[in-house]
Amino acid sequence: VQKFITNEKVFNTIKSGEQISLIKAIIDENRTSYADSRLRLRLVEDLKVAEHKIDKGTFLYANVSGFSAQRVQLTIYSIMHKDQILPVKLEIYDQDGQAGLYVPESQFREFGREISSNSAQGININQQAENNAQLLMSTLQRMFQSTTTAINKHIRKNKAKIKYNTHVYLIDSSTKNTGR
């Protein structure tokens, strides 16, 4: 996978036959992304995959492949082109030259984690009544525990808000091609 370069001759120009540049794309939607979710990108320039030319403006779809320290890792595994699926492995790089998109840590998310983990601790429903009342209280306690467990899982889940029109670079991970 590489940037598509035309071999047009330019009058009175001295340059090497090899042009160095990265494959550019933009994020084409606002999305809150989770692990294994899909994100749509749009090519800003033509792309060459084997003998196929992928035109600029074509939509590509990246999978969120992981989260690391304030970064969302994105990978493109295939491109649909004229009723053909072209297998690729393109990693997404941010404008700072590092793999993945930079997403600053949310303070609200950390605050929410603390509240949810602390609120579930130390709550105990007293069961001092007849058998029917004990059954009702036991059922309420189980419902409360399962609800707080579900809320804890949702709050602790890694997620990132990714903004429309963010410029990114695509790099073929099989060759670590930087555009050469």
Q: What is the CA radius of gyration of the chain?
A: 25
- Closest by CA to 52, choosing from 83, 28, 21, 26, is 83
Angle at which helix 107-119 crosses helix 131-156, to 10 degrees, equals 160
Helix (H) or strand (E) holding 16: none
Q: Which is higher by pLDDT, 84 or 9? A: 84
- On average, the pLDDT of the chain sits at 77
Q: Three-state DSSP class for 153? A: helix
Contact 163, 179 (CB under 8 A): no
Per-residue pLDDT tens for 33-53? 888 899 999 999 999 998 899
> How large is the average pLDDT for residues 154-168?
81
The per-residue pLDDT for 22 is 83
Percentages helix, strand, coil for the chain (3-state, rounded to 5) are: 20, 40, 40
Q: What is the pLDDT of residues 117-134, one digit of tens each?
A: 544 444 444 444 456 777
Burial of 58 (0-12, 13-18, 19+ CB in 10 A): middle
pTM equals 0.65
Please give the single-letter amino acid code of residue 59. F
Predicted confidence band of residue 179 (pLDDT cuts 50, 70, 90): very low
